[in-house]
Amino acid sequence: MPRRQKEPVTSLFSSVAGGSQPEVAEFSESAWIDVVRKMDEVYADLIRYEADLESKNHALEGAHRFISSVLSSMFDVLIVCDAQGRIQQANRAVTELVGSSEDALRGRLLHTLFIDDNHELLDTLLGRARNEVVKDVELTLAGRDGPAPVAVNCTPRRDRRERFIGMVLIGRPVGELRRAYDALNDAHLELKRTQQQLVHSEKLATVGRLVAGVAHELNNPISFVYSNVHTLRKYAERIRCYLAAVDVREADTELAELRRSLQLDRTLEDLDPLIAGTLEGAERVRDIVNDLRRYTASQRGDPVPVALATTLDSAAHWIQQGATRPVEIAVDVDAALLAWGHEGSLHQVMVNLMQNAIDAMEGVDRPLLWITAGRDGDLVWLRFSDNGGGIPPDDLTRIFDPFFTTKPIGKGTGLGLSISEAIVRDHGGSLTAANGDRGGAEFTVVLPRAPDATL
């Protein structure tokens, strides 16, 4: 079979050349075939490059979505800013705290996110962050719902030439943690306060039982002494009457001599003051026993009318007996003024307030304590004013806190005013502290008023 001759390929070049020069057409057609082959190779490379680029772009989009989801899921705040401190990126935790979108935050100065008081600290932080990693600095965001404290770590950002181009701030909100810590601390303090009050109450109960026993033991012999002295006084009167009768009858000289030798006249003269002194001592012991009973009486049962003047006199007597130097206590209280309460507990409050005032006047040349009282509708008030140095303003807010004291170690437990305030509060009243017009401290006790006594 004869071989078929291949027809010449007509090219764009030969068509343009008009086919008048076969050698040129042949050469041009070969070159064109090479060009088409090269173009095919370039196109195949472009297709391959496009496929690779699309694959890498897909991977990049996946990585971007992953990073975005991580940033959005972070509870910690994350802020990226440039070298001038302008925000470039912020995560969802930041936008939710400050109430602005990321687009609205982008380009703003970092300082605008924080409260004014933090600006100086923030300048220091940004200056340090250019050269080092700064850890655990507490700043406060100007949050949408109020200030939001965060513990911030700051890391510098650098380019491939290690030039500083910005920083990354990561902060953990500490508001909830702080509130939880404060609540735990308050619970711990309340537990300690309750424990100390239980210990103190148990000590008082023990002392109360001891004093009650001592009072009972003292009261019996005192009763005998008191009764016997009264009987002795009657006997003395009888002896005096007898001797007077003997004088009238002018008995014999031996009887008169015996009277002189026995010094009966001097004995009769001394008898009255001896009896009076014995009675006074017995009455004083009786008063001490009654005061001990009153002081250790528990706050049980319904409140009763308490004569404030009488209770104040007893408390003042206690304080003056135990004072290391003379203290003038001026009491101006109506004897008819009554308050509802428990006398033993109110006696303890008065003793505590008087003793506190005396301790505050330790460096005063002439210590003076004024105690006044009055009526205010259904309430009565007692005011204890001294001429000491007063109360520092910083101490006024915590003077009734348990264990707070300004006294030297060993001189005070810091429980006296706290217990007194609790007792008055349990009575339905209040105990407040202030600095008086005379310069010293002023404590005011307010209690429910009972009907005035009939004098």
CB neighbour list of residue 412: distance below 8 Å, 6 or more residues apart = 359, 405
State residue 180's pLDDT score.
75
State residue 446's pLDDT score.
95
Torsion sign, CA atoms 247, 250, 251, 252: positive
Give the length of the chain: 455
Q: What values do phi and psi take at 135, rounded to 5?
A: -120, 145
Q: What is the token pair recorded at 59?
A: 């991977």
User: Could you give the CA distance from residue 173 to residue 76 in angstroms, rounded to a whole number?
Assistant: 7
State residue 66's pLDDT score.
64
State residue 384's pLDDT score.
94
Of 428, 418, 424, the closest CA to residue 192 belongs to 418
State residue 453's pLDDT score.
66
State residue 96's pLDDT score.
83
Q: Would you give per-residue pLDDT tens digits along the chain (455 residues)?
A: 444 444 444 444 444 444 445 554 555 777 778 888 888 888 888 888 888 888 887 777 776 666 666 655 566 888 898 988 899 888 888 888 888 888 888 888 888 888 888 888 888 888 888 888 888 888 888 888 888 888 888 889 888 888 888 888 888 877 666 777 778 888 888 887 777 666 556 556 555 555 665 666 566 667 667 676 777 777 677 677 667 667 666 556 766 676 677 676 776 776 777 677 677 767 767 666 665 565 555 555 688 899 999 999 888 887 877 667 778 888 899 989 999 998 888 888 898 898 888 888 887 888 889 999 999 999 999 999 998 888 888 888 788 776 667 666 545 556 678 778 888 988 899 999 998 887 888 999 999 998 876 65
Torsion sign, CA atoms 254, 256, 258, 260: negative
Q: What is the token pair recorded at 437?
A: 């017009």
What count of other Cβ atoms lies within 10 Å of the Cβ of residue 12?
Answer: 10
State residue 230's pLDDT score.
72
Q: What is the token pair recorded at 336?
A: 């008819």
Q: 3-class SS at 430? A: strand
Q: What values do phi and psi take at 148, rounded to 5?
A: -125, 100
CB neighbour list of residue 339: distance below 8 Å, 6 or more residues apart = 305, 306, 308, 346, 380, 427, 447, 448, 449, 450
State residue 16's pLDDT score.
41
> Do residues 337 and 375 touch, judged by C-beta distance below 8 A?
yes
State residue 339's pLDDT score.
93
State residue 317's pLDDT score.
82
DSSP string, 109-153: BGGGGB-GGGHHHHHHHHHHHTTS-EEEEEEEEEETTEEEEEEEE
State residue 363's pLDDT score.
78
